[in-house]
């Protein structure tokens, strides 16, 4: 590295500096909206509504957070999101890990067919309406279980893990079978420990997509006490300024529609920021593993 650095001409150095500056600008542009929304969430309602917030909170106050954190609906939706995230992720793993193992075994009859059978779902799906009607016919509308089971298997994740299992030398499996272990034991005691990075990757993918999922929760759930955080946030964004009960409190409260919305956004981002370092550790590897071809 040091040697090649010395070989950089003046033009090369200018080029390197220019790219560094451009990268810095793009990074700042990426970061700015988060800083802005955080600043809004801590500003007074008056300053935020007047468009005075740019980089730091103006007339700093926790009023918006107080309003959000004392709203029981916020906590109900937060709890629901936890249920959907934990339950849904565990369900996904329960389907994906054994399935990926079976598909990775050369002795499986019709292996090519089963692989195509799963992979086909990545390339073609029936669309919104048939999926919705199917969920309704299965009696899974407005149900915790429906949200968790309805999105349990993701072909991309399954194939990603299968690729990883395939890369583990078959001698591991053969040796364990010789020693009298059955396939369940082989999977649990040999393959799962060896595939930890891949399993961590798909677990994190599942957690993030569960945490962020909103469209189907919005479509499939009717009861307010079952909606997840993202749907609660959408309701807030869409309806808060028309909510007379809320707007009536604005006269004597130092928050506004903008600061309350921003405070919910910050509360919804924090868990993602907490898992993000773990995600980052794995997803680059994960993406590369998933050189998914059929």
Partner 1 sequence: MTAKSVGNAANNTASGTPDGTVEYAAPALTLGDKLSRAVDHFRNEWQLYVMLAPAVIWCIVFLYKPMYGLQIAFKDYSIFRGVAASPWIGLEHFETLFGNDQFIRAVFNTIKISALNLLFGFPAPIILALMFNEVLHAGYKRFAQTIVYLPHFISTVIIAGIVITAFSPTAGIVNTILGWFGADSIYFLTKPEWFRPIFVGTGIWQEAGFGSIVFLAAIAGVNPSLYESAVVDGASRWQMMWKITIPSILPTIIIMLIIRIGNIMEVSFELIILLYQPATYSTADVVNTFVYRQGLQSGQYDMAAAAGLFNAAVAFVLVVAANSLSRRYSRTSLW
Residue 42, φ and ψ in degrees, nearest 5: -100, 0
**Residue 225: which region, alpha, beta or left (left: phi > 0; alpha: psi -120 to 50)?**
alpha
Identify which range of 60-68, 173-181, 194-202, 246-254 contacts partner 1 by CB under 8 A: 173-181
C-alpha closest to that of 208 among 164, 150, 157: 157
- Nearest approach, Cβ of residue 240 and partner 1 (Å): 11
130 binds partner 1 (CB under 8 A): yes
Work out which of 118, 198, 206, 221 binds partner 1, going by CB under 8 A: 118
In terms of C-beta distances under 8 Å and separation of at least 24 residues, what long-range contacts does 92-95 make, across chains too?
92/151, 92/152, 92/153, 92/154, 92/157, 92/202, 92/206, 93/199, 93/202, 93/203, 93/206, 94/152, 95/152, 95/153, 95/158
Rule CB under 8 A: say whether 125 interacts with partner 1.
yes
Quote the CA–CA distance of 124 and 130 in Å, as a whole number: 13
Positions 259 through 288 that interact with partner 1 (CB under 8 A): 261-262, 264-265, 268-269, 272, 276, 279-280, 283-284, 287-288
Cβ closer to partner 1: 69 or 275? 275
Total residues contacting partner 1 by CB under 8 A comes to 104
Interaction residues for partner 1, span 28-87 (CB under 8 A): 29-31, 33-34, 36-37, 40, 48-54
CB of 87 to partner 1, least distance (A): 15
- Residues in region 199-258 near partner 1 by CB under 8 A: 208, 211-215, 219, 230-231, 233-234, 237, 256, 258
Does the protein bind partner 1 through residue 134 (CB under 8 A)? yes
Q: Any residues with CB less than 8 A from the CB of 62 and at least 6 apart, and which?
A: 42
Segment 94 to 113, residues that bind partner 1, using CB under 8 A: 94-96, 98-99, 101-103, 105, 107-109
Nearby residues of 256 by Cβ (< 8 Å), 6 or more positions away: 45, 46, 48, 49, 64, 250
Q: Minimum CB separation from partner 1 for residue 291, in Å?
A: 9
**Alpha carbon distance 224, 77 (integer Å):** 9
Q: Summarize the chain as % helix, strand, coil (round to 5).
A: 80, 0, 20
Question: Out of 62, 86, 90, 138, which residue is the one contacting partner 1 (CB under 8 A)?
Answer: 138
Closest distance of CB 216 from partner 1, Å:
10
Q: How far is the CB of 270 from partner 1 (least distance, A)?
A: 11
């Amino acid at each position: 590295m040091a040697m090649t650095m010395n070989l950089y001409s003046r033009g090369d150095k200018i080029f390197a500096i220019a790219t560094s500056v451009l990268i810095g600008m793009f990074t700042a542009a990426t970061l700015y909206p988060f800083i802005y929304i955080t600043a809004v969430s801590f500003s007074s309602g008056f300053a935020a509504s007047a468009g005075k917030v740019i980089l730091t909170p103006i007339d700093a106050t926790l009023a918006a957070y107080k309003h959000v954190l004392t709203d029981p609906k916020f906590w109900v939706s937060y709890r629901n999101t936890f249920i959907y995230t934990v339950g849904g992720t565990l369900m996904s793993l329960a389907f994906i890990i054994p399935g990926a193992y079976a598909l990775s075994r050369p002795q499986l009859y019709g292996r090519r067919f089963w692989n195509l059978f799963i992979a086909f779902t990545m390339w073609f799906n029936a669309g919104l309406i048939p999926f919705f009607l199917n969920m309704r016919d299965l009696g899974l509308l407005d149900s915790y279980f429906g949200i968790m089971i309805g999105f349990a298997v993701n072909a991309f994740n399954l194939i990603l893990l299968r690729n990883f299992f395939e890369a583990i030398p078959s001698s591991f499996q053969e040796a364990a079978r010789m020693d009298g272990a059955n396939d369940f034991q082989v999977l649990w005691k040999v393959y799962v420990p060896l595939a930890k990075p891949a399993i961590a990757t798909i677990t994190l993918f599942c957690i993030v997509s569960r945490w962020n999922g909103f469209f189907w929760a919005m479509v499939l759930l009717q009861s307010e006490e079952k909606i997840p955080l993202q749907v609660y946030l959408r309701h807030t964004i869409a309806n808060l300024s028309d909510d007379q009960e809320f707007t009536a409190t604005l006269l004597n409260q130092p928050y506004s529609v903008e600061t309350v919305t921003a405070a919910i956004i910050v509360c919804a981002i924090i868990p993602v920021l907490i898992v993000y370092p773990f995600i980052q550790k794995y997803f680059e590897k994960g993406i590369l593993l998933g050189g998914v071809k059929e």
